[in-house]
């Protein structure tokens, strides 16, 4: 029997990215072992409905210590799925190339501090870009600066509002996140095979 591929998902919002993973969990052959949330949010409700363990962080306590304590040792991948806090350097270093994030732009464009949600699509449309899109990338100690894993571009439809464009990008982001998890699981499996031989 294959070794399970264990995911920890971190979220701050409604849990749309989390739901995309839940919906493909069997197909991906992954196990979501824990949801970490920095506030009470819809993602917690989604996790509880699926019997996924939940850890809600205490905003008054040290974020790095809480994350280091909460993340199980047998975790294969940590997925930031709309998680707003910046992951502390100590966590990034311990879990190097094991933390991924989604971002609603074609990084390195429209990333960094303050660039999230509808703000990204407003900036894309203000700049009259031909393409919008999304990125899945590794997390490092910067903001949206980690190595890019996958990207998906879509044409910008200027008859839409930034909110509506964001909705289209979010649909693609959910698909891209699932593809990235599948890709990283495959890479981990191949690396394990090489070590065994």
Active site residues: 103
Q: 7 to each of 30, 32, 105, 114, 180, how far by Cα in Å?
A: 7, 5, 24, 27, 13
Supply φ then ψ for residue 16, to 5 degrees: -60, -45
CA 84 to chain centre: 11
Structure tokens at 105: 């732009």
Q: Rounded CA gap, 16 and 53, in Å? A: 17
Structure tokens at 6: 């264990």
Supply φ then ψ for residue 5, to 5 degrees: -105, 105
Supply φ then ψ for residue 94, to 5 degrees: -65, -40
Q: What is the DSSP letter of 25?
A: H
């Amino acid at each position: 029997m294959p070794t399970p591929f264990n995911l920890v998902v971190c979220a701050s919002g409604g849990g749309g990215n989390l739901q995309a993973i839940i919906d493909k969990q069997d197909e991906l052959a992954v196990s979501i072992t824990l949801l970490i949330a920095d506030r009470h949010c819809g993602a917690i409700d989604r996790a509880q409905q699926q019997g996924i363990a939940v850890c809600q962080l205490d905003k008054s306590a040290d974020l790095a210590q809480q994350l280091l304590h909460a993340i199980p040792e047998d975790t294969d991948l940590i997925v930031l799925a709309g998680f707003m806090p910046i992951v502390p350097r100590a966590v990034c270093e311990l879990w190097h190339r094991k933390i991924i994030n989604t971002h609603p732009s074609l990084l390195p464009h429209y990333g960094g501090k303050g660039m999230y949600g509808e703000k990204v699509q407003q900036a894309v449309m203000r700049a009259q870009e031909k393409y919008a899109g999304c990125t899945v990338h590794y997390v490092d100690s910067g903001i949206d600066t980690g190595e890019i894993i996958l990207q998906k571009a879509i044409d910008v439809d200027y008859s839409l509002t930034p909110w509506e464009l964001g909705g289209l990008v979010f649909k693609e982001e959910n698909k891209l996140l699932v593809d990235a998890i599948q890709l990283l699981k495959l890479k981990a499996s191949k690396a394990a095979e090489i070590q065994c031989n």
